Structure 1
Amino acid sequence: MIVKELEAQQHSDPLRRAGHDAERQMAHYLKRAFGEDSGIHVLNDLRLQRGEEIAQIDHLVIHRCGVILIESKSVTAQIGINERGEWARYWKGQARGMPSPILQARRQGQLLHALLNDHTEQLLGKIFLGKLQKGFGTMHVDVLVAISDSGVIRGGKHVPAEVLKADQVPERVRELVQYYARANSVFSLNFKDSGYEATPAEVMGIASFLRARHTPAEAASAPAAPPTPAPRAQAASAVPASVRTSQERQAQARPQPEVACRACGSANLSVQYGKYGYYLKCADCGGNTPAKPVCAACGQPARLSKSGAEFTATCPGGHRWAYWTNPA
């Protein structure tokens, strides 16, 4: 199940554009493999914050026994890994060192684990007659590095098992999920890899919680957008009216976004207006979640406008779509 699609992005920088292409390739493989699998939840391009720390996760797979972080790497030629675990890119026969994406993904996994621990009581139920709180302490956090299909991996026996070509990643994900499921079976003697196992409802709640905690980099760093000046409005109107009308019809046909309360994971929400603008109010726990729509077409943060119980989002690129309808 795809909980969060990869957000569309436009980059003028060739390196960033290549990186996004690698993520798009990996997102495609994950969707083809798990798009209809209700037991596996996939979030692409997930940006999480805990205190002053930020984790940018290319792809996150959530299953009943843990999570798998997948780091996509764009490689157009070759990469090499030596016996000390040092990474290098090769271009025209020359090697240039690069940070280890395995260590990078592990650091992101540590922040994710800590964030989930902070909200244990909200995300996990209790056992033994409802008296013992379940926890994330033994949750498995695995990392994989996906090398784009066009790249070549050098290093032979020194290449870690976590490093795979992008098309090999889905099968490795299945192997990990099945391995931990067997470890948690009643007949297993593998006590080392057993212990943590969430219910399907808890997995769905964790996925919804993380989806609601996502904050796009542009929305987090940019101040409130001023009113659009006249020249930009004229530039937008240069698009043929037939094209704009078609885009608006498609946008209006979209379903409401998959948002949830960041405190309890509930979808029983309504859009309200407060001191800092629009936010989502949870009817179940009373918590507040920022309303931060992001355009699926161009990846830009959008602004909300209200008409009765209906809220429409509009991005600087001129795209409009139905964002939310408050319950009667």
Structure 2
Amino acid sequence: MILKDYVHRPDADPRSEETCAEAATRLRNAFKANEDVVLLNDVRLPFDDERTVNVDHIVLHSYGMTLISSRAIYGKIEVNYRGEWSRNVKGREIAMQNPIELFKHVSKNLRQNLSLNIDQLLTRAKGSQRTFENMPIDVLFIQALKSTIIGTGINQSNIIFVEALTQSINRTFSAYKKREFQMYGGLDTFKISQSDMYAIANFLLGNEIDRSSYPAATEQTSSGGAALLPVPEGKTGIVRAYSTKPVKIIKGRDIKPGKQTLERLEAESEAKAR
């Protein structure tokens, strides 16, 4: 489901804007009919009290969200031993902000803002209020074609090309979904309803939260709105029980024959006596 579509920015670098447009197209084609995903493009999130940062794409799903930056990494980029980033522009090294550190702060502030508004964003689960503390906020950076990153000590696990974008998100979603049915019935897995997803998405866009227009739910939020859909039954599993009583060792001489064995032995002895 697409809640905010991509809009072309003529002021951006053509290389970064081309990458952003392709990323938006791939996300649209992959998730436009998916009711478990809400897609937002070009969302301004607070960086500090005075500044905001544009997040090119946000993918909200029932197990968390993914922030995607598709305009930051283009051209020839060099990272020195101090972790300082620079971009080569017509033979000149121009300092640029470290996008990885930038999004660490954005993710942290985002979690804090969500927590401050938890009453209207998260519904109660079985009578208890959940939190955003264990909500996964993943970050992906899209590297433009014909661009390079030179340097040591760079964690490039979340820097991908646009061709791998949707596969990476689907793989992450499947991993969280798999955890739900693992040990302890997924008690440590963060999961929200469609109603919560729409509430969070509208909160990020600065829109009014109107739960009456969201998918129906069964429980109530702490502020009185609609809430969670019924929780589906989990898969059948094996429960191991352990006794707290001391282990008793049974010796061979203490083992007595069963009733059938006794009857058989008696019958054999009577047959021999005859």
What TM-score, normalized by structure 1, do the two folds share? 0.56
Q: What CA deviation, in whole Å up to 9, does each residue of 1:177-211 have, x standing for no partner?
A: 112222222447998xx432112332233223323
Q: Structure 2 CA distance, aligned partners of 1:73 and 1:9?
A: 11
User: C-alpha separation between the residues in 2 aligned to 1:205 and 1:96?
Assistant: 40
Asked if structure 2 preserves the Cα contact closer than 8 Å seen for 1:82 and 1:158, the reply is no
- Displacement, 1:121? 1.3
Residue 204 of structure 2: SS of its match in structure 1?
helix
Moved over 6 A (4+): 188-191
Given the alignment, which residue of 66, 91, 96 partners 1:98? 96
* CA–CA distance in structure 2, aligned partners of residues 90 and 18 of structure 1: 14
Return the alpha-carbon distance in structure 2 between the equivalents of residues 110 and 74 of structure 1: 19
Structure 2 gap segments, 5+ residues each: 215-223, 226-274
Cα distance change of structure 1 residues 96 and 16 upon mapping to structure 2, 3 Å threshold: closer
Separation in 1 of the partners of 2:70 and 2:81?
A: 22
Q: 1:68 aligns with which of 66, 69, 86?
A: 66
Code of the residue aligned with 1:123 in structure 2: it is L
- Aligned residues between the structures: 215
Residues 13-60 of structure 1: CA distance to partner in whole angstroms, max 9, x if unpaired?
Answer: xx5555444322221221122222221211000124586453421111
User: Secondary structure, in 3 states, of the residue corresponding to 1:161?
Assistant: coil
Return the letter of the residue paired with 1:39.
Answer: D
Distance 1:76 1:115, change over 3 A: closer
Matched, 1:88 2:95: no
CA contact (8 A) 2:73 2:141 kept: no
Between structure 1 and structure 2, the one with the greater Rg is 2
Aligned counterparts of 2:13 and 2:212: Cα–Cα separation in 1: 35
Change in Cα spacing, 1:60 to 1:162, as seen in structure 2 (3 Å) is same
Contact 2:75 2:144 in 1 (8 A): no
Give the direction of change, closer, same or farther, for the CA distance of 1:189–1:125 in structure 2 (3 Å limit): closer
- 2: CA distance, partners of 1:181 / 1:188: 14
1:277-296 equivalences under 5 Å are none
Is 2:170 aligned against 1:174?
Answer: yes
- 1:66 maps to a residue whose letter is G
Helix, strand or coil for the counterpart of 2:100?
A: helix
So what's the TM-score if we normalise by structure 2?
0.66
> Contact 1:87 / 1:97 at 8 angstroms: preserved in 2?
yes
Taking the aligned partners of 2:180 and 2:93, their CA distance within structure 1 comes to 44
Cα distance in structure 2, aligned partners of 1:103 and 1:265: 35
RMSD: 3.2
Query: Which one-letter code corresponds to 2:120 in the other structure?
Result: Q
CA deviation profile, 1:121-178 (whole Å, cap 9, x unmatched): 11211123x2x11111111111111112232344588442111122222221112211
Contact 2:36 2:62 in 1 (8 A): yes
SS of the aligned residue for 1:160 comes to coil
**Are the equivalent residues in 1 in contact too, given 2:16–2:74 (CA < 8 A)?**
no
Q: For residue 146 of structure 2, what is the aligned residue in structure 1?
A: 150
Q: 2:190 aligns with which of 187, 196, 210?
A: 196
Partner residue of 1:320? none
Higher-strand-fraction structure: 1
- Identify unmatched segments of 5+ residues in structure 1: 214-259, 269-283, 286-328
Secondary structure in structure 2 of the residue aligned to 1:170: helix
Aligned to 2:272: none
Tell whether the 8 Å contact from 1:18 to 1:74 is kept in structure 2 after alignment. Answer: no
Higher relative contact order (CA 8 A, sep 6+): 2
- Contact 1:57/1:108 (CA < 8 Å) preserved in 2? no
